[in-house]
Structure 1
């Protein structure tokens, strides 16, 4: 493997494996453990600033001064019978421009991403991606400082170990 330069000027193949950037392909298996999403396929998109999670409903909630959001996810494409309901503190509302140039205000949450045996917090916007091939889009803001992307590769990090009967769809 040819060593790649990181934004920090060091070779990606040098140093401690736990601290060097993770190598990702253009699509990867991920998990969002705080949301109960133990297996979700994501498109790694360095052209997108923000990461996005498919949510077929989004309900803002207010409990006293705290704001949160409840949402439903179909984690498996083409399986509307498989549903994971999530709830997370609302970080903010943000106007986002999608790949088609349409502007939309979205709820933003902060949650842990698990990929390639590593975890770190990422911001996610919630929107309906029912017609899209991937339920999750992993944008450059989420991978900056953590990973390098080789667009010629796919599923470099492998499929994560998942609990038995994940989503009840085995």
Structure 2
């Protein structure tokens, strides 16, 4: 079925997808595709800032796999903004904003990400509507249209989780 409003180069996303953030060293992360959220957000369990040649940078740590605090990616990126963002509970928080590229299969495009601790949330990343607009359309009745990753820890060189 051809939808005239969908450009041929646009991806079709389900409501959750496995994405990559190659410039941050994140080969896979399960994201909620959230058209109700304006901004995209990445889980960062710590964020430190520093200056390099006058430019503000954020250095941060990510646990990209849910329930695997032993898997850690440390990354840094220039801070492009600081914004007050409301979470799903209506709480406002000042967050650092970075630019990076998101990859879905063979497609890749630039996005803005805010950094915040999402430790208690089901998804380590939200892909918001400003990152989706013009790049993808969402089929909310589908999941993982770009494919499932059964053992995400393998992408990070980690073994299977041990039973408690």
Report the TM-score when normalising by structure 2.
0.90
> How many aligned positions are there?
158
Matches within 5 A, 1:18-97: 19=9, 21-97=10-86
| Partner Cα distance (1:154, 1:168) in 2 | 25
Q: Name the SS of the counterpart of 1:90 in structure 2.
A: strand
| Partner Cα distance (2:154, 2:147) in 1 | 19
Among 139, 148, 158, the residue aligned to 2:128: 139
Q: Name the SS of the counterpart of 2:18 in structure 1.
A: strand
Among 114, 132, 137, the residue aligned to 2:103: 114
Structure 1 residue 3, shift from structure 2 partner: 3.0
Structure 1 residue 91, shift from structure 2 partner: 0.6
Structure 1 residue 5, shift from structure 2 partner: 4.4
Q: Name the SS of the counterpart of 2:147 in structure 1.
A: coil
Give 5+ residue unaligned stretches, structure 2: 160-164
| Partner Cα distance (1:108, 1:133) in 2 | 21
Q: Name the SS of the counterpart of 2:142 in structure 1.
A: coil
| Partner Cα distance (1:133, 1:165) in 2 | 20
Superposed CA RMSD in Å reads 2.0
Structure 1 residue 166, shift from structure 2 partner: 2.2
Can you list the C-alpha shifts for 1:33-79, whole angstroms capped at 9, x where unaligned? 00000010100000000000000000011123111100000000000
Can you list the C-alpha shifts for 1:12-48, whole angstroms capped at 9, x where unaligned? 3xx7x4x2x2110000010000000001010000000
Q: Is the Cα contact below 8 Å between 1:93 and 1:107 reproduced in 2?
A: yes
Structure 1 runs (4+) deviating above 2 angstroms are 2-6
Q: Is the Cα contact below 8 Å between 1:22 and 1:116 reproduced in 2?
A: no
Structure 1 residue 169, shift from structure 2 partner: 1.8
Q: Which residue of 1 aligns with 2:162?
A: none
Give 5+ residue unaligned stretches, structure 1: 7-11
Q: Which residue of 1 aligns with 2:93?
A: 104
